[in-house]
Chains A and B, each alone.
Chain A
């Protein structure tokens, strides 16, 4: 098992950080009135871990008995769909965006299914079941609107816990019906501590310098930190302080691309960049992530005076990307815009000299 999976805390008592939040959540479960939840935060912050903790607190260890099932749906247009669900006796977890634009059907079907059947087990701790919806920020507007009524209607029999990276794409109608819980990414020092303790459990000696470096490289993503640590171990053990820290392939790739853009601004560059972008997109790297990484790289090299424009452009393009369909157009358009702004700036600079 990977370290990240092996030492994942299973209940509130074992959580390593955000302890105060943990106590609050624990108190929440004690009360009979348990609301709908919307848990959000960046990748690798521990959203899912907290959700499992809540479930365990609500229903006891029975929720850890998971089974995977494929559920079948039929859309109104008679298209057969199937979707993987993970469920226990007390809850069901599903990612509706797996079926793309038909997520509305999934949401309607699942919630109705779950809500219409009452908890059969008389001994169960709670009289409701829990539906976990992951990747809520990728839900279509239709699906979100379908959700809001059902959330109220079936509250007697089911609670919904939603999991999202950002709340900005969740319609206000939904977030207002939920208790929104933000799970911030752990601080670097926390990550260092966790790395150290984990390595201790595994009987690995991790030098503090390396731990710090790993924590920095992880970008405050705990999962990533643990994975980096494990990869380091595979690549070189015993550790040394100045060990090479493995990087993410796609991140390296985007950085290279940014280098190309900064080096030369012309149509040929755009043509090269287009190939790279296609490669990234075909690997299912989300366009938002590409935008973010690219912008970060470009900003590092660009002058303060143009930063504002560049950020504004990036934000605008990213916004339009979500509204549009063909991601390549938007990414390329941003690249072209940046090249134009950058080139104009450079020319002005050299013009002064």
Chain B
């Protein structure tokens, strides 16, 4: 199989791999007897493949799918069959099982042949006829395990099972898995569709309707989840890489040689189309693939989880899934990880080995992811395992699924894993699938509607299906206008900033719209569409201010369609409006106003948008302006801070900026001769002192700085020269002048501080103990007033009073200071007279 002669036929090769893989599965799945009679010689690629797939699937769907436990129960029986093939007939149960399988297989093959291949018409016809005959006796459903009539038996079994399940067990099982009930429903639906296709009986169709409504409790999403590899919708190359990677584990898991290797290499060499990712197929010393972990990443709704499940099942693994709904603390994570990977010795060799799937791993705690990495790389010490003292080696594949591969927590995991980026499903493929589902469900629609739906939902399979399910439950047909008009299916998606701007500045070419044939109507509709589109984009983005900023800074440099000034002023009006509103919102916290904000963007879109893609830049001018402003106002603040208070009272920031500074810069740079200070004339010296004084008053100084080219320059500090760079030429002082001024300023400053110090000292009182007492100024004149003595006759008698009295005259007052022992404690002015 693997040695296809012609490697150029990509298609064949593509299937060759799968064929090979698929062929292996049945062998492993222990149902070889079933294949043997049915498998025709391989003439055609597609048909046998589908058949074999369905074979395998049947086993799984019936037994394995319910839960893995069921399969395990069945497995021994299968083994028995293998061991004792002669007793087949005696084992009634087994017989029934085979018959059942055969029937289902045929039904499926039919469905598939409609969907995928037309080549095996002959065989289909044969089966179809049997199908129809089988259909009719199906309704009674009575005979249980008595009759060998396959139909009767099968239907009953499923029905009963479903009832049981619904009543008791099924609800506990995982949500994502199909229970047998839904499986039955699916088979039923398939059959219905088949009948609708092949026979023209409308009664059948009507019969099926109520039946379908019974199934509404199952989401279509689960109902139509791909169960086989070929049903996958996701990108083919991604699927293949995934499967190949899983197959690389064969050596260590199943002890089989992975057979892909040679084919893959050839294939890679010769084709360019299918080589988005080169899988490293080398095995390490433990025969494991190079990457131990596969990391699937991509936006939601593309089928990552489905691919992981299907591929793992396909490769013959038992799936152990851990997702965000499970406890993912490090401890729990550890337990599940060890359980899943180290159980090999306990599990029967015929059973399927485990494959771990970590869904939504980007939400897992970092510690858990670190543990996973450590685990994958091999844990050194494992003394718990009695006999095995050597390091543990991971022998099972692990698949991780995430939305954002660049989440910080995943950084280290990314390096050791096979990263598979999920591209978007092609709309055509998706639409085709959707149409086929519609056909099965009896929902009236057409391919173009489905295309529109797929595009509208951004190829999100999940939302497409939910949407259709909704329409189905509403019992109406899906039409193109429904899809185009409806507001459903669009997720609240965060677009990038640039994408939003692009949306505003670019008119998307109107798509052909069959609903609106007339030109006017279509134009109107187109405008309405554009309006809603912009509105939605903007309001889902939310950060109006940044978007507006971007529009504001970009529109001016773009080639505008409408370059009249009227449009321009209208646009500017809207900018003003938006600014007013957002300011109001911010100051009053009145967020109800924010609903008015998006409309400006619509106006701008209609004014500025062109059909060509425009080159947009990140808005920076506003930000730069802000930064400059902050820097410059810091300079002004610095200047104001150091100004003399007597001057500062008289100038505030605005007067400083508007009036003083522009002139000040000129005043402090007079025309000095570049000579020594001593050679200046008197006028020049005066001018110099004036400059120095002014600069000190306004807290300016020159500071020497070294420029990058090694030249020393004197710059103003604070650098107010930076403030007014209005491209006007300014006279600059020479270096030596600046140096001179700087020195003079320093000197003057020193002088001033010195002066103020002296001033202070003169004012300042001495410490108490150094103080000398000072005599109060005695009023001299009055005391000496000569006592006029008069004699009896009134004549003045001059008496030599002074000499007689010898009293204390103010000039020779004696002060006594007690100094002995330098004791200052008692000190008191005493007169000599007191002592005597």
Contacts and interface: CB of A to CB of B under 8 A. Distances in A.
Interface in B655-680: 655, 657-660, 662-664, 666-667, 669-671
A230 B652 contact: no
A66 B649 contact: yes
Interface majority SS (helix, strand, loop, mixed), chain B: helix
Nearest to A278: B625
Contacts of B578: 329
B558 to A, nearest CB: 9
Contact of B663 (A227, A252, A286): A227
Contact of B629 (A98, A250, A281, A339): A281
B663 A48 contact: no
B650 interface: yes
Contacts of A228: 663
A349 interface: no
Contacts of B579: 324-326, 329-330
Nearest to A225: B659
Contacts, number: 185
B580 A324 contact: yes
Contacts of A1: 690, 693-694, 697
B569 A339 contact: yes
B650 A274 contact: no
Interface residues of B, number: 67
B576 A43 contact: no
A336 interface: yes
A5 B647 contact: yes
A336 B565 contact: yes
A175 interface: no
The residue among A227, A234, A266, A274 with the most chain B CB atoms within 10 A of its own CB is: A234
Interface majority SS (helix, strand, loop, mixed), chain A: helix
A279 B726 contact: yes
B349 to A, nearest CB: 68
Interface string B619-663: 001101110110011001100110001111110111101111011
A231 B650 contact: no
B667 A234 contact: yes
A201 interface: no
Interface in A178-225: 221, 223-224
B582 A325 contact: yes
A73 interface: no
A224 B658 CA distance: 9
B568 A328 contact: no
Given A68-B645, A279-B726, A282-B632, A343 B556 contact: no
A252 B728 CA distance: 9
Nearest to A163: B652
Interface string B593-636: 00000000000000000000000000001101110110011001
Contacts of B725: 279
B552 A339 contact: no
The residue among B633, B667, B725, B727 with the most chain A CB atoms within 10 A of its own CB is: B667
Given A1-B697, A329-B552, A93 B649 contact: yes
The residue among A1, A221, A281, A284 with the most chain B CB atoms within 10 A of its own CB is: A284
Nearest to A330: B576
Interface string A299-335: 0000000000000000001001001111011101100
Nearest to A277: B625
A135 B556 contact: no
Contacts of A289: 654, 658
B576 A274 contact: no
Interface in B363-379: none
A227 B573 contact: no
B628 to A, nearest CB: 4
A282 B552 contact: no
B658 A328 contact: no
A157 interface: no
B573 A333 contact: yes
A324 B557 CA distance: 25
Interface string A48-79: 11001000000000001011100000000000
A246 B731 CA distance: 13
Nearest to A229: B663
Contacts of A285: 657-658
A329 B653 CA distance: 24
B575 interface: yes
A227 B660 contact: yes
A252 B565 contact: no
B171 interface: no
Nearest to B576: A333
A281 B579 CA distance: 17
Nearest to A289: B658
A43 B726 contact: no
A122 interface: no
Interface in A245-265: 246, 248-250, 252-253, 265
A73 B305 CA distance: 57
Contacts of A343: 565
A324 B552 contact: no
A120 B579 CA distance: 50
B660 A248 contact: no
B683 to A, nearest CB: 9
Contacts of B552: 328-329
Nearest to B691: A234
Given A249-B728, A266-B563, A340-B569, A66 B646 contact: yes
Nearest to B640: A84
B144 interface: no
A48 B726 contact: no
Contacts of B662: 248-250
B556 A271 contact: yes
Nearest to A51: B649
Contact of B572 (A234, A281, A333): A333
A340 B566 contact: yes
Contact of A252 (B633, B646, B648, B726): B726
Given A250-B724, A279-B726, A336-B572, A223 B659 contact: yes
A230 B576 contact: no
Nearest to A279: B726
B569 A324 contact: no
Nearest to A288: B654
B723 interface: yes
B728 A333 contact: no
Contact of B560 (A267, A329, A330): A267
A230 B560 contact: no
B632 A284 contact: yes
Contacts of A64: 646
A344 to B, nearest CB: 8
A235 interface: yes
B583 interface: yes
14 contacts: A2-B667, A5-B647, A43-B654, A48-B649, A221-B659, A223-B660, A234-B671, A267-B560, A270-B556, A282-B624, A282-B625, A282-B629, A333-B576, A337-B569
Interface of B: 552, 556-557, 560, 563, 565-566, 568-569, 571-573, 575-576, 578-580, 582-584, 586, 621-622, 624-626, 628-629, 632-633, 636-637, 640-641, 645-650, 652-655, 657-660, 662-664, 666-667, 669-671, 687, 690, 693-694, 697, 723-728
Given A43-B655, A86-B648, A284-B653, 20 more contacts: A1-B693, A44-B655, A66-B646, A68-B641, A68-B645, A227-B659, A227-B660, A227-B663, A231-B663, A234-B667, A266-B565, A282-B628, A283-B657, A283-B724, A284-B632, A317-B576, A323-B583, A324-B580, A340-B568, A340-B569
4 residue pairs, one from A and one from B, having the closest CB atoms: A333-B572, A282-B628, A66-B645, A227-B663
Interface of A: 1-2, 5, 8, 43-44, 48-49, 52, 64, 66-68, 84, 86, 93, 95, 98, 134-135, 221, 223-224, 227-228, 230-231, 234-235, 246, 248-250, 252-253, 265-267, 270-271, 274-275, 278-279, 281-286, 289, 317, 320, 323-326, 328-330, 332-333, 336-337, 339-340, 343
